[in-house]
Structure formats: C-alpha cells, structure tokens
A and B are shown apart, each in its own frame.
Chain A
C-alpha cells in the first residue's frame, strides 16, 4: 500500500507535506489579513463608542507611560477639543487579568466602562460584565465616591461571592483614573504602583483615589 519507509522517501514526503501546507496557509493568511484587522478595528471602535460621550471623527490612539508601565488610550474630540479619553487598563482578578476600557470625560468623570476580556468564574465573577455591577461606574465621579467595595469601607456594591473580581474591577478603574491624570497634567505623579498596577495614594487633596487595602 504505502511506499517504502526509506530515509529518502520519509524526508521527501515530510518536506512535500510541509511545503504544501505552508503555501496553503500563506495564501489563506493573505486573504484573511484585512478582514481580521477590520474586525479588530470595528471591535475597538464599538468599545470606545460605548465608554465615551458623543464624538466626531476618528478616535486618536496614543500610549502613555505611567509608573513604568505603558497604557494605550484613545482621545475623542468634538468641535476640535477633546471630550473624553478611552483608557485600556487591567488588573488581576480571580481567573486571570480583567481588562477594561474605561471612558473618562474631560471633567474627570468616569463616563462608562466596558470589559474587553476576562476569565472569571461563570455565574460568579463573570457577572462583572452585567449592568447590575458595571453600571455603578456609569457617571461616577472618582472625587465624590470612595473607590472600594463596601466590605472595604467603600461605596461600590460588590458582586455576591466575587469580592476578588469586584476589587480587580475597581482597581482597573482606579488605574485608568490615574492614567487620565497623567494624560491631562502631563506628569507622572507616582500614583500608580508599577508592580501591582494598584493606585497607592493620591498626591492632590480631594482627588479621591483612596488607598485600597
């Protein structure tokens, strides 16, 4: 049935199989490259549109270094001036990183948040994407509210039986607020601890980035 398993035959056969497979993959890659980029782009744009107020034109992408870590963000403008920033920040939850896109308006209010990726327990921590929890961060002024779960003396209702996820979510929002401060003031106040991504202490009084235990 099959041809003889001589060294020459085996080498030639595997070589041929690999060449044909790679050629096929290269062709498919070339065809799907653009749709993949378009799909990624569409996803980013729709996330941005959910977290910031109405804007005109295309969001401008940029990165900023805060506490030795690089954060990417998008600036959206209306009538020629920036109305908000969509900042990507993450924090370690129960099942891995919880990655958020946090929209902050130019008057330093969290407009909305959206979860970009998370691997929390289904039915428990994964509920952080649901409005019951996530809507607490809608129009939240970090200067007015204490950014911690109620158990830690804060103002945020944690998800039942998912305090770790809730803390991670809050931490990510806090980090985004700290990143916002750097974007706006242009200087790193040292509010973000690079190692943990946690907000340690706010410099200016009344900034509201409370210490998170």
Chain B
C-alpha cells in the first residue's frame, strides 16, 4: 500500500467514527461545538501519530505478554505531554476539554491502531496510518460539532447567524446520538453509492 493510500483510507474506508464506530465516548461528549470537536480531533491526531511511531519503533523489543501495558505507558506519556503543553499555551481549550484529554489514554482508536497496525509495520508507514486515522477522526468530530452547534445554538465556530437559541436538545447528550446517527446514515449512503 502506498503512503498516500495509508493516509486516505483513514478518511473514508476506515474512518474511525463513521465506519468503524470506534472512540464513541469522546465523539459524543466533546462535540457540543465545532471548535471543541476540532480541538479534540487534533489532540487525538497528535497522540495517534506519535504513539504509532514510538510503538512501531519499539515493538520488536517488547515481549508479547507485556505489550499492552508497555503500549499504555507509551500512550499515557504522550497524552500527559499534550496535557501539559495545552495547559501552558492554550488554557481556554484545555479548560473546555478538561477531562477528555487524559481519557485519550484509553481511547480505543489509539490502542487499536497500535495493535492492528503499528506493531507490525515500519515507523514511516505507522506515522502515515496515524495521520490518516487522526485526520478522519478530526474531520468526523468537526463535522458533528458543526451540525450540533448549528442546530443547537444557531452558530458555527462561535459566529451566531440566528438570534436566540436553537434546538437545545442538540447541545445535550441525546442530540449527540441523534446527530451522529444521521451523519452515519448519510456517510454510508454516499460511500455505498461509490461502491466502497
């Protein structure tokens, strides 16, 4: 598989949110607005690329029986680095995402890519895979955030285009499920039409 293909497959065919339905917890919880979805996606992208690279580089030296604890420590280290950096330089975003940043450690997308791809492939390929899946995740979260923010608050990326409130339920938890379900339907319809 070419490098480009590795990156693009995460976008459509193996899109973690719309196709594989992985990492639903942060997906549903953080997408109350477009900017929150985008920042959560980028945070996961950052961890995904670095952990994929580190794991593919160290995998030959890690005994099989302790690979999961070793991967978790590696992922946790990158997440904590991200957390410290965000706290220092983007305190506002850090405050909104708060709890969900440390939870990237147990995000099944990150561990899933480590198990399914990074420990069997080279460093460069793993980086491309992480980048592809990460972009797919970011795209899905941003889209979901835009839809929920538009319907729920009548704005997009904080710019209000209707006065007053939107349909409140879309900002709350039930709206996350509704919006996600309809986006998956549309996504499936489009990819089915392309014969994928």
Contacts and interface: CB of A to CB of B under 8 A. Distances in A.
Interface string A103-138: 000000000000001000111100000000000000
Interface in B140-180: 152-153, 165, 168, 171-172
Given A21-B76, A24-B77, A123-B171, A2 B60 contact: yes
B32 interface: yes
| Range of interface residues on A (Cβ < 8 Å) | 20 to 34
Given A28-B85, A36-B87, A2 B77 contact: no
A32 B85 contact: yes
Nearest to A43: B91
B63 A13 contact: yes
Interface residues of B, number: 32
Interface of B: 32, 58-67, 69-70, 73-74, 76-77, 80-81, 84-85, 87-89, 91, 95, 152-153, 165, 168, 171-172
A21 B80 CA distance: 10
Contacts of A29: 84
Contacts of A1: 59-60
Contact of B77 (A21, A35, A43): A21
A5 B80 contact: no
A39 interface: yes
5 contacts: A5-B65, A9-B63, A17-B70, A28-B80, A28-B81
B171 A13 contact: no
Nearest to A23: B77
A202 to B, nearest CB: 36
A3 interface: yes
A18 interface: yes
Contacts of B62: 2-3, 13, 17
B168 A3 contact: no
A18 B88 contact: no
Contacts of B88: 32, 35-36, 39
Contacts of B63: 2-6, 9-10, 13
A10 B65 CA distance: 8
Interface string A21-56: 100110011001001100110010000000000000
Taking each of B63, B73, B77, which has the highest tally of chain A beta carbons within 10 Å of its own beta carbon? B63
A122 B30 CA distance: 12
B117 to A, nearest CB: 14
Given A3-B61, A17-B58, A36 B152 contact: no
Contacts of A10: 63, 65-66
Contacts of A24: 77, 81
Nearest to B71: A17
A36 B84 contact: yes
Contacts of B168: 122-124
B80 A25 contact: yes
Contacts of A9: 63
